[in-house]
Amino acid sequence: MKKFYIYSLFVLTLVASELQGQELREVFVEPERIGILNDRISGDTTDTGERVNLNTVYVLRRNGVYKTTGEIQNPGFPLYIRAEEGDGAMPIIQPAATSGGESARPFTVLNDIRLEGLYITSIDELGQYIQRILRVRADDVEMRIDNCWLDGSGQSAVRLDNVNAKVYISNSIISNMGRPSVPNNGRVIDCRTNTDSVVVRNCTVYNVTSRIIRLSGGRFLRYGEFMNNTIMNTGQTAIQLDETIETVFVNNLMINAGFLGSVRSDDPFEIVPVGEAAVNTFPDVEQTAIIRNNLWYTQPEVVAARPDTVVDRPIYSSDVFLATDLDSATLVDELTFSEPVNFENAPTPSAAVVSQMVIDQATLDNLDDATAPNWNLFGSPAFQLVDQTLALPWQFPYSLSYSTTDFAATAATDGGSLGDRNWPLKDLNPITDLAELLPAQDDWMVFPNPSVGNQLYIQLSDDMIAQQIAITNLLGQQMLEVSASKSQKYIGVNTSSLNVGIYLVRVTEPNGKISTRKFIKK
């Protein structure tokens, strides 16, 4: 996974310890059985039912998998969970399926919560999508998430049901929110009530079927800040802030915003004058929006896959307010860029997703075939089947570093790079030919190429039937034989047994035709 750097605004202090003058108590939780994390947190009480120590941090082991047997809740006490220090993969928190195949989301938040260095998913061990990862069900909650990876949810990463929540997310990755067959339900933060603050800094967000934040229906947000984020592949739109009193949206990379072809009706960025509820709550506060030094870019392969009827809409909503529209409102909108960005290895929606060929409630098999390479549960970079068991990721599959020569490398307000600064700039060869990005209609491909991790994907063209698939070295010696049915068009291959080097994927068809593609394992 990427190397994280703590941004100064998000140096998290131990507030509870300072208030009570107590030392932090560390409780190490061993991944020894299903439900151990639930039990250690809920059972950490005295004989009279009081918490043993409100200044407790639950430390999870690296390379450990923690299967939850129900919602982790924290009624009446703050909850702090982090990964242990040192090297190794992030601890994984995943719902287990209990009797009857039922499972529950990882967290119902009833008091302040702080999470650090964790991989958390709401896709259970049977591959079922639970609607949310964290659901806030109490007023005045403060949520701090740093250096985490929130991956896989049927609806949202965070849903706010109670008033005055404060959400701070930094140096984290958020991915695969929603399903393409039901695009309305994919969000990162879903505000269902009036919210105090939402701050997202130095994060990478990709594969969100609807939008990053949903704030609508007369609800307001007091302060919304999005700064130095890399946001890729939002399906319907990008940001829906609506009645936000104070907005800061600066130095972001917005790639493939509103990529879904058949639902390209929403403007990527929406904000409107505040309504009666916000004015009554904050009568003396001026509504402001600082929107500057953001790059909006749609990759050529996404444009090519869209139906001809799709027309790009303006970046900003027609309802975006100007100073002349509302006496108390001001808008600063400067330097909106649209130059290309050449990432080292980034997720791109498949043509099937972009053109929205799968728009109804398809079966899982059809959905997976049609939406490759992303949101494909059993063949995605995030999840795979190993001996018929759903395996979780131990390594981030992408690198969203981009070239030092790209315009975005020096386009931020401070002269530095746009987007998530946890990805170091690199000397990458710029892509100069569209043919390098787009295979011919009757072509087939392997990706990612170069392959950074231990997962490779083969996507055959519609008219190909694979009788045999093999991976050979450059001397023609077979290194791997790939199992695939003759009807498969999308095959995931575990390449952990291959050393770094150059290899060939060889596909033999029933008529004896042999086709090869070269790939590099880095």
The pLDDT of residue 263 is 61
Q: Which of 42, 102, 40 is nearest to 77 (CA)?
A: 42
Task: Map residue 477 onto helix, strand or coil.
Answer: coil
The pLDDT of residue 189 is 97
Confidence of residue 434 (pLDDT cuts 50, 70, 90): very low
The pLDDT of residue 330 is above 70: no
Separation of alpha carbons 201 and 270, rounded Å: 19
Q: How many CB atoms lie within 10 A of CB 483?
A: 9
What is the chain's mean pLDDT, rounded? Answer: 80
Separation of alpha carbons 132 and 152, rounded Å: 9
The pLDDT of residue 217 is 77
Separation of alpha carbons 117 and 142, rounded Å: 18
251-268 pLDDT, tens per residue?
Answer: 999 999 988 876 666 678
The pLDDT of residue 368 is above 80: no
Considering the entire predicted model, what is its pTM? 0.76
Phi, then psi, of 182 in degrees rounded to 5:
-135, 70
The pLDDT of residue 408 is 94
The pLDDT of residue 101 is above 50: yes
Alpha helices in 211-299 (DSSP H): 276-281
The pLDDT of residue 328 is 43
Residues 6+ apart with CB under 8 A from 463: 442
CA 132 to chain CA centroid, nearest Å = 13
The pLDDT of residue 143 is above 90: yes
Residues 6+ apart with CB under 8 A from 385: 378, 391
The pLDDT of residue 76 is above 50: yes
The burial of 61, by beta-carbon neighbours within 10 Å (0-12 exposed, 13-18 middle, 19 or more buried), is given as middle
Identify the weakest region by mean pLDDT among 74-88, 376-390, 396-410, 451-465. Answer: 376-390
Separation of alpha carbons 148 and 372, rounded Å: 25
The pLDDT of residue 332 is above 60: no
The pLDDT of residue 3 is 38
The pLDDT of residue 510 is above 70: yes
Q: Tell me the Ramachandran region of residue 63: left when phi exceeds 0, alpha when psi lies from -120 to 50, beta otherwise.
A: left
- Domain 442-522, CATH: 2.60.40.1930
The pLDDT of residue 288 is 85
The pLDDT of residue 377 is above 60: no
Task: Map residue 345 onto helix, strand or coil.
Answer: strand
Q: Which of 226, 186, 225 is nearest to 206 (CA)?
A: 186
The pLDDT of residue 352 is 67
The predicted model gives 105-110 an average pLDDT of 97
Which amino acid is residue 320, in one-letter code?
V
The pLDDT of residue 281 is above 80: yes
Separation of alpha carbons 5 and 171, rounded Å: 7
CB 103 within 8 A of CB 67: no
Separation of alpha carbons 135 and 157, rounded Å: 8
Greatest mean pLDDT among 154-158, 323-327, 334-338, 369-373 lies in 154-158
The gap between the terminal CA atoms of the chain, to the nearest Å, is 15
The predicted model gives 318-329 an average pLDDT of 45
Q: Which helix (H) or strand (E) holds 255?
A: strand 253-257
The pLDDT of residue 323 is 37
The pLDDT of residue 8 is 33
Identify the weakest region by mean pLDDT among 279-293, 403-417, 421-435, 467-481. Answer: 421-435
Greatest mean pLDDT among 83-92, 195-204, 324-333 lies in 195-204
The pLDDT of residue 132 is 95
The fraction of the chain above a pLDDT of 90, given in percent, is: 40
User: Looking at per-residue confidence, does 506 or 84 come out higher?
Assistant: 84
177-219 pLDDT, tens per residue?
Answer: 987 767 788 999 999 999 999 999 999 999 898 999 998 778 9
Q: Which of 179, 113, 119, 164 is nearest to 349 (CA)?
A: 179
Residues 6+ apart with CB under 8 A from 465: 486, 509, 510
Phi, then psi, of 355 in degrees rounded to 5:
-80, -5
Report in angstroms the alpha-carbon separations of 197 from 278, 316, 424: 14, 22, 29
CB 96 within 8 A of CB 123: no
Domains of the chain by residue range = 106-345, 442-522
Alpha helices in 33-122 (DSSP H): 36-42
Separation of alpha carbons 478 and 509, rounded Å: 17
Which neighbouring-strand residues pair with 80?
A: 114
The pLDDT of residue 289 is above 60: yes
User: Looking at per-residue confidence, does 316 or 386 come out higher?
Assistant: 316
User: Looking at per-residue confidence, does 492 or 65 come out higher?
Assistant: 65
Confidence of residue 393 (pLDDT cuts 50, 70, 90): low
Task: Map residue 368 onto helix, strand or coil.
Answer: helix
Q: Which of 83, 61, 70, 192 is nearest to 139 (CA)?
A: 192
User: Looking at per-residue confidence, does 241 or 350 come out higher?
Assistant: 241
User: Looking at per-residue confidence, does 514 or 90 come out higher?
Assistant: 90
CB 205 within 8 A of CB 231: yes
Separation of alpha carbons 178 and 152, rounded Å: 8
The predicted model gives 221-230 an average pLDDT of 97
Confidence of residue 78 (pLDDT cuts 50, 70, 90): very high
